[in-house]
Amino acid sequence: MNSTTTLIKSHRSIRKFTDEAVSDEIIGELIACGQAAATSSNVQAVTVIQVTDPDIREQMATLAGGQPYVASAGAFLVYCADLNRPSLACQSKGGEFSPGMTEHFIIATVDVALAAQTTVIAAESMGLGICYIGGLRNKPAEVAELLSLPDQVYPVFGLCLGYPAQDPEVKPRLPVEAVWMKDRYDSAIFDTAVPAYDAHVREYYLTRTGGNKDSTWSDEMKALVGKESRPHMQGFLHDRGFMLK
């Protein structure tokens, strides 16, 4: 429809980067763009930690499941949901922070996602590539310790930023009719939309891998939601004071 929508729909995850660093000026501008995103009740429950120490970045790459681009990207950011800062503001005015509210946890996590994605769009508009790193939640306690995170703060995901050294195809998404409903939820839409999408995804993987990957979206969902996924997160979040009530 316009240059912005074209940019948004051209998003790819980049996992190979040039050696060029991303300047502090650009990082600062990108984080400022993220701050401009919507935030529930102006809580602004986002803290971004840029990891510059090469040793810590190597450890992060290992903790994320052995993802080398965490260490090699031009910059690596860790996006944290932060209720510590608003709790301190509350107490500075004589209030008593109410810890463990599930609603506050949702607010903070959504704030992080909105800020990060706004940052990503800004980064891609500058010619940078990105890759989200949810693998940090494989070892969240270790990540929190490395970053000296206090209670009421948890690492939601990492973000690799850098100048792309690859040009992958755009991965196909579900057709709009599979996610756009009017007035009520209708699962019947999936009877035709999902099989058609599965065929599209299968063709995409076969082409991209030269026939080495034969999979569909439904196959991937079977592997993901058909088993427990990071069950340690519940205990970790509880230990850090989240979702107690």
The answer regarding whether domain 3-170+228-239 maps to CATH 3.40.50.300 reads no
Q: Tens digit of pLDDT per residue, the chain (245 long)? A: 899 999 999 999 999 999 999 999 999 999 999 999 999 999 999 999 999 999 999 999 999 999 999 999 999 999 999 999 999 999 999 999 999 999 999 999 999 999 999 999 999 999 999 999 999 999 999 999 999 999 999 999 999 999 999 999 999 999 999 999 999 999 999 999 999 999 999 999 999 999 999 999 999 999 999 999 999 999 999 999 998 88
CA distance 42 to 154: 19
Phi, then psi, of 192 in degrees rounded to 5: -110, -35
Q: For the chain, give every domain's residue range.
A: 3-170+228-239, 176-208
Predicted pLDDT of residue 19: 94
Query: What confidence score (pLDDT) does residue 40 get?
Result: 96
User: For residue 245, what pLDDT is reported?
Assistant: 87
Residue carrying structure tokens 């999408």: 197
Query: What is the pLDDT, as a whole number, of residue 70?
Result: 98
- Backbone torsion region of residue 164, taken as left when φ is above 0, otherwise alpha when ψ lies between -120 and 50, otherwise beta: beta
Calculate helix-pair angle for 190-208, 217-225, nearest 10 degrees. 100
